Structure formats: structure tokens, C-alpha cells
Amino acid sequence: MAGAGPAADAAANVYVLDGNGTFDTTLAGGFPSHGNFGNAFLKISTSARLAVADYFATFDTVQASNADNDLGSGGALVLPDLIDGTGLIRHLAVGAGKDGHIYVVDRDSMGKWNAASNQNYQDINGALGGPVFSMPAYFNNTVYYGAVGSRLKALPLVSARLSSTPASASPGSFGFPGTTPSISASGTTNAIVWAVENANPAVLHAYDARDLTQELYNSSQASSGRDAFGAGNKFITPTIVNGHVYVGTTNGIAAFGSFMGPSAPTNLRIIP
């Protein structure tokens, strides 16, 4: 899952996207007869013992595994409760992998496997512009995705449906492995989307979460190279705490914060 941890809901169920592998197309009660769930979106119960409580697999999961075109390159995200167009509360999760589709599942009924078609809540194709080796972020009814070779995109959630058309996108694209965004905010205001570009040197970008076309800062802006923090690496995820943004490198941690006064954020130090 591109370095992403498992997601979990309030009932202590754990959600993961697993890699290519054996999937039993002979089902027993809707589940693989021998318990092999290769290349699937899994809901794992922790109530008594670890066990798959539900799952979703694409109709072509076996072919996808054979082609190493698996879901497990991306991470899963549990969404907050959402109300659909009929007033029903929906419990959703979202994930994407190498095929570039966004799979939205209903955590109460994920869809399982059907040989003819996908039975999940939503299957969105073409919105991301590339394969996914990252996980999304969520803020204020918006899901943020950064696929390989594509721009970071803000996809709105309306009536418990994820839009296939981004509300905004970053000015520049992100090469392999795309980017895993992180959000900082003051409650529901002043939200910033942080994303690292895997380059040499790596670049930390900050965008206005309301409009990703508005880049607030990036670590390559200072002509002196003051904010450079080393070569990029796969699956770097910015971590925000106590007014600082921390970015892991291959040999240390870069800590970003603001100068006294209204200046833009700047790199404070690199901790080996």
C-alpha cells in the first residue's frame, strides 16, 4: 500500500488493499472457497480474531494479478459518514491501484466478486490520469489524489458520490510514485494540502486546499537553496504537528516551519 498504514473504522474493522496473488473464483457464501483473497479490497474484523468480514474484488482480478496490475500499490481511506440523495447514511471507503480506477466501496456491503461486472458502490475510471502508488487524503467533503505522472487533484463528494471531475488540480504534475498528500487546517478553515515531489532535490509543495491551482509555497523557491532537504524517495508522506511539517528523507528528517512574522514557511533544519 505504498507505505500507507491500514485504515480503520469506529467498529475496529481494518481496511487494506492487498497485492497480486491467488484469488479463488470458486465461492462459498460469496467468499473465496479456500480463503485466498489476492488483489482485493478487504474488510478485516478484529472483534474475536482477525478474519475477513467482507471484501471487493474486480471482475478481472485474476487477469489483473497475472499482469501485476494490482490494487495493492495504493492505500485505503475510510471516509466519514455521508448522506446520499435519498437521506440514507452511507459508510464508505476509497482505494485505487495500478489500473488507475478509483474504487469506492460501501463498508456495509462491499460488493464481493462477480465474474461479469464490478459490484462495488462506485467505479471511477479516467479521473486520476495514471496509476496510483500512494493514498488519498480527505478534507471538507473532498478527496485529494496524486497519481503517477498526473497533477494532484481535488475530487468533491456530493450526496455521498465521488465526482469524476476534479474541482481543481495542482499546476504541476508528479512523477513516480505520484504523491501522498497531507492536510493541515484550523478546524474547517485555513486548510493547506502538503505534497512531496520525488525529485533530486525533492520538493515540498503547499497548496490552498480550496483551490489547488494556488500554490502557497514550495521548497525550491529560495534561489539560495535554503530550503533544499535532499534527494527524493518513494512514498514520502508529510506529517504536520504543532505548526511544523516533517518530511522524511533517505538519511534524516526535514522540519519546516514559519519565520517570525508573515514570511512563507521555510526549512528549519535537517535532523540526521
pLDDT number for residue 264: 47
In a domain, 165, yes or no: no
Domain range enclosing 272: 181-272
In a domain, 154, yes or no: no
Give the side-chain half-sphere CA count within 13 A for 79.
29
pLDDT (tens digit, 9 = 90+) per residue, 95-134? Answer: 999 999 999 999 999 999 999 999 999 999 999 999 999 9
pTM for the structure as a whole: 0.93
Q: Enter the DSSP assignment of 130.
A: S
For residue 49 the three cell numbers come to: 480474531
Specify the range with the lowest mean pLDDT, choosing from 8-17, 62-71, 165-174, 245-254: 245-254
The total number of structural domains in the chain stands at 2
pLDDT (tens digit, 9 = 90+) per residue, 46-71? Answer: 998 999 999 999 999 999 999 999 99
3-state helix, strand, coil in the chain (%, to 5): 5, 45, 55
- Claim to verify: residue 119 and residue 221 sit in the same structural domain: no
- Claim to verify: residue 62 and residue 112 sit in the same structural domain: yes
In a domain, 75, yes or no: yes
pLDDT number for residue 259: 65
- Claim to verify: residue 7 and residue 111 sit in the same structural domain: yes
How would residue 3 be classed by pLDDT, with cut points 50, 70 and 90? confident
In a domain, 160, yes or no: no
In a domain, 248, yes or no: yes
Residue 186, domain CATH: 2.40.10
Reply yes or no on whether the pLDDT at 35 is more than 50: yes
